[in-house]
Amino acid sequence: MIPLRDTIPSRSVPLANYLIIFANVVIFFLMVCAGRNAEAWVEHLGVVPARLLDHPLSAQWLTLLSSQFLHGGWFHLISNMWALFIFGDNVEDRLGSLRYLVFYLLGGVAGGLAHVFSDPASDIPAVGASGAISTVMAAYLVSYPRARIITLVPVFFLPWILAIPAIVFIGLWFASQLLNGLFALAVGAQALGGVAYWAHVGGFVFGLVFLPVFLIGRRRRKPFADERLPW
């Protein structure tokens, strides 16, 4: 399923979300320009579980932040930034720009830690914004469960465009990440292409648990119809 857009309009310009997307794109282009030296970026700035746990008092903890702005290829970058573009603006509306930025970064750190402790012996760098974006998707699910996600669904090689409730779209996505994460524990992450599924799970759980904390003190406003809970 490929999300195309959602049905919740932004109330304000999502400056923080745009800034995050811009930073990710610029850093990726710098990596492309670096050529073979890009591998050194990934090696030094990606999260390496074994290295971080072997040197717990070192600057390795900073890789939990730096790794969020690195991507392994065009598809990795575009898929992550597209998801952030769709879901991030509305969550920034809900939190405000500064809280949203902190929420996003801490969610990425939580996702990185989940990856580290799910595969502590790994010496392979993990990069990507997926953990932080999972945090944003969790916040979107809680805030706008009845929003519709306009989705491209290929069925028998034919493109179908469906309006899927956010609670269904994101719920199914999280279920797939959790199941793949459990399978990865059994067979090893590399057998599943090296995807850091537990970073997705960890970021998502962080978003569910800590969204209420980040909403403390935020002024309530009249919700859109799609924001109301369906139960």
Domains, the chain, in order of start with CATH, read 2-217 (1.20.1540.10)
* C-alpha torsion 224→86→170→90, nearest 10: -40
Residue 231 confidence class, pLDDT cut points 50, 70, 90: very low
Q: Which two structure tokens, joined as six digits, stand for 225?
A: 């119809």
Distance CA 187, CA 175 (A): 18
pTM of the model: 0.90
Q: E strands, 85-141, where?
A: none
Inter-CA distances, 54 with 108, 132, 179, Å: 21, 25, 29
Residue in 139, 137, 133, 66 with CA at minimum distance from that of residue 96: 139
Residue in 218, 111, 231 with CA at minimum distance from that of residue 174: 111
pLDDT tens, residue by residue, 168-185: 999 999 999 999 988 888
Residue 113 confidence class, pLDDT cut points 50, 70, 90: very high
Average pLDDT score over residue span 184-197: 70
